[in-house]
Structures are given as C-alpha cells and as structure tokens.
Chain A
Amino acid sequence: MSDAPPSRAARRAAVAGSPPVLLALALPPALAAALQASLRRPVAAALDARATWIWAALLASALLAGAVAGALARRWPGALARLGLLVLLVQGAVAWGWRFRATGEVGDGGAAVRWLGIRLGPWARPPALSDFEVDPAARVRLRVEGHPLELADGASGRAGGVEVRVTAVGAAPQISAYWQDQLMDQTLVPVGSGEDGFTQLGRLPHRFYLSLPEGPRLADPVGPPDALRVHVERGKLVLAERLVQRGVPAELDHVLFRFDEGGRWARLEVRRVVPPAASVAALAGLALVVAAAVVALRGARRRG
C-alpha cells in the first residue's frame, strides 16, 4: 500500500466506488425489476426504462471510479472486483440493448419481410433480410445482412450474426378480382399459415378470407392448391362461403373472383446472436471477479 496521502480526487473516487454507493445505485433498478416480476408484468419494461439506463450508467461510472481508486491505492482485490463487475455490466447492457427476436413472413418476390411479434432492445434494428425465394422443394433462400443463406423447412442457420429458423412454408396463390369486366386487383396471398387474416382487393369493400379445404395435409405443401375455401364479407354481412376451384372464376357479390398458381411463402424465426467478442468480454469480467476473490483470500490468509 502506498504511504503517500491520497489526493482529494482519489478520495472522492474511493467514496464513489465504495460498497454503500454501489449498492445504492444497483438496488433501485433491481427492485423495480423484482416489483414488475412480482406483479406478473414484463420485466423487460423495467430493464428498458430510461431511469434504469441512467442508474446503470451511474453504476458503471462508480465502478470505474472505484477500480481506479483501488489501483492507485494498490488495493488490488477491490480494484479487480470492480473492474470485473464493470465489464459484466457493460456486456449485459450491450447484449440487452441490441437484442432482437421476431417472427417474419416472407414470400416469393416480396421486397420486404412482414415482422410479427418483434422483441428488440432500444438500440436494435431488424436485420436486413432480402432476395427471398422458396423453391418447389420447399427450400428457402434469402440474404441476411447481405450474406446468402439456404435452409430446408424446419432447419436453422446463421449468417451475418443472425440466426434464422424456417418454421413453416406454404403456397401463395395468385388472386384476381374483376368487376364490370375490369381487373380490380391481382396479388399473391399466403394460405395455410394458420392465421385468420383477410385480404382486401383494390378498392373493393369485401374482405376475402382464404383457407385450404379441410382434409389431409397436402403431400406438397408449397404446391398450388386445387381448391380454396373462400369466405366473403362486406360490412356486417357474410355474403358467401364457397369452395372455388383453381382457374375457375366464381361470381361473389357482383365480383368475379379467381385464383391461379402463384408463388410460395415461408415463416421464419429470427434472432440476433451474441457476437463472440461479447462472450469473451463476459468471461473476462468473470475471470477478474474470481481473481479478485482469490487475491483477497490470499491476503486474508497472510494476515493470519
């Protein structure tokens, strides 16, 4: 230990990094998260709160001050422990801030992914997915953050720091609606995705609910279906519930409806994976805390 009296700045840093101050800064966010959990509210709301991030920044500053003060005073166990905790805190904040997990639906030729149920940190952005293609063998090809990825139905893979898993594939027939001999709209509609969504075509007010006919699952899930069950509503009224054959026009409330072979769709589970550097940082933090404990233990043994 140094014999020179510590400077005023060193004394202040030591106070800032003292256990009571560290505890005072760490406890409020921890209590807020515990309160959320006890009320069965999402803990993520407490961890995402701006107040939590401010207190985490203050705690990081206090840990840094304590580590510096400990090093200046050559109190190595305390300095190492604070440095280790600081690394763990920063690593946790980075991993939480950039977390991303969502389900995405993509289709042949579709320019964008349709995200469902996104969970992401305050600094995270959805990863860039593009150039989707589902081939007749139900293999999904896409670019993830610019990197090519090819996956079979049910398989998962990584590219560009993003893990992608294919959870479902299906057909997306081409739907056409004609009114007064004019094509009102033509679009690809995913069917068999298990969602009860509806489709609106052009400026028609009708809501078209499309589903695969009941029966055994098709041997070829991405092949065009021979028939579709079409449920049509307008306003409060149910206008039609009919089985429509592929390529055969059907008149539904003055609208001529038909479907033909179109494309294919896929549903993906997407999550950002922790980069190896972050894992190394966490391990380094843990190692520092363990080293501090070992040094403290040896010191205590020496003192008797």
Chain B
Amino acid sequence: MSGPVERPLWRRLAPLAVSLAAFTAAAAALDPALARAGRWPRPLAEPARTEAIGTVRLFLRFYADFFASGGNPEHVGDVPAATGVKHQLFRDLGFLRETDRVLVLDLATFEPRDAVETGPGRAEVLVAEEWNHIEQRPSDRVPIGRHAGMGRGFRYVLRRGPDGRWLVADWFPDDGAVPVPIEEFVW
C-alpha cells in the first residue's frame, strides 16, 4: 500500500505566491501613497531643488515689485503663489495705501539654506534674507522714515500647482536661518 503522495514544494507555496503578487498589485492600484510613502521630510533632489529655490526667488522679485509700485496688480497672475498668499500680500498693500505709504523693499541677500521634500508634491525652502527698506509718500516719493535693514530667516512652504510648477503656498519667519543680525541699512 503506498502512502499519500506529497505535493512538490512549488505547488504548496503557490497560494502564498499568488496572494502576495495579488496583494502587491492591489496595493499599487488602490494605495499608491503606501508605496511612495517615505520618511518625511527628506532632502529635495535635483532638478526639483533648483526649481523650488528658483520659484522662491521669483516670488520675492514680484513681492518687492508689488510694494515698489504701490500695489499695481498688473502681474498678479504671474506670481508663483497660491491664492491665500496673494490675498495676504494685497491685504498688506491695501493697508499701506490707506495709511498713505509706499514701502520700498530691496532684497540684498538671498541665501537658500535648506530645501526638503515634505510629502508628495510638497516642499519647504529655508532662506536667509537681508532686506533694505524705506517708507515713502506715494504722491512725491519723499521718504517718510529712514533707510533701514533687516536680516531674517524665512521658511517657504511650496506645493505643485495643477500644471506641475511649484507655488508658494505659505511662508513664515524661521529662526533657523538668520544671516547676520542687522538693524541698519545694508548698502
């Protein structure tokens, strides 16, 4: 009398292999974030790093231009920023206009200190900045106060827009990147 025929190992492991393959496929289709999820934040790789820093630099150029023009909204559509950031900017410009002032800002130093990916399509850029600033009377551009300067660190929160370009979604002071503690005009 012969004993029970033992199935080969590959046949015994077949259900497990099929289940593992199906689970992997299902997770890739239904939970793509699970496969992509990593430890956040992590350093932003090139070319995204250069793009993100370039976006912040461009945003600051528009930022200074809006203040220098007294709030001319001509290029508001070109600003690489989310709607909330633009609203806050124009709230600031409106307040200055209503208090009969123009703020002239000049970016003297722009030193990116850190750029990290904080999630899918999200990044943060830490910049040490030095600004010269003076308030003027809008009618004749006569200075109201004296020239002053300041150095501070700012953290910019960026997210990818619908077209894939970076947008400044928020920004706030960050003591982690103070260039030089200055209170006076830089140059």
Contact = CB atoms under 8 A, between A and B. Distances in A.
Interface residues of B, number: 34
B34 A46 contact: yes
Contacts of A45: 33-34, 37
Interface stretch (A17-25, A106-114, A292-300): A17-25
A24 B92 contact: no
B2 interface: no
Nearest to B133: A237
Chain B contact surface mostly:
helix
Interface in A242-298: 254
Contacts of B34: 32, 45-46, 49, 51
A49 B91 contact: no
Most central of A29, A46, A55, A235 by chain B CB within 10 Å: A235
B20 interface: yes
Interface string A33-57: 0000001110001100111001100
Contacts of A46: 34
Contact of A40 (B19, B39, B129): B39
Contacts of B67: 235
Given A49-B34, A203-B91, A204-B95, A236 B152 contact: yes
Given A49-B34, A50-B31, A254 B99 contact: yes
A51 B37 contact: no
Nearest to A46: B34
Given A31-B20, A234-B92, A236-B105, A51 B15 contact: no
Contacts of A24: 15-16, 18-20
B150 interface: yes
B32 to A, nearest CB: 10
Nearest to B64: A236
B131 interface: yes
Given A20-B15, A24-B15, A205-B88, A55 B95 contact: no
A234 B37 CA distance: 37
B37 A41 contact: yes
Interface string B86-118: 001101101100010001010000000000000
A46 B37 CA distance: 10
Given A234-B92, A234-B95, A237-B150, A20 B16 contact: yes
Contact of A50 (B30, B94, B133): B30
A50 B32 CA distance: 10
B92 A205 contact: yes
A163 interface: no
B27 A32 contact: yes
B38 interface: yes
Contact of B26 (A23, A51, A205): A51
B95 A41 contact: no
A7 B98 CA distance: 87
Interface string B70-100: 0000000000000000001101101100010
A32 B35 CA distance: 10
B12 A20 contact: yes
Contacts of A21: 15
A27 B26 contact: no
A238 interface: yes
Interface string B1-26: 00000000000100110111001101
B173 interface: yes
Contacts of B31: 49-51
Q: Which 10 A-B pairs have the closest CB atoms?
A: A28-B23, A205-B92, A24-B15, A24-B19, A51-B27, A51-B26, A49-B31, A50-B30, A24-B16, A205-B91
Given A51-B23, A235-B103, 19 more contacts: A27-B16, A27-B19, A28-B20, A28-B23, A28-B24, A31-B20, A45-B33, A49-B34, A51-B30, A54-B26, A55-B23, A203-B94, A204-B91, A205-B92, A205-B94, A235-B67, A235-B92, A236-B133, A236-B152
16 contacts: A21-B15, A24-B19, A24-B20, A28-B19, A32-B23, A32-B27, A49-B27, A49-B34, A55-B19, A55-B23, A203-B91, A205-B91, A205-B94, A235-B92, A236-B133, A236-B150
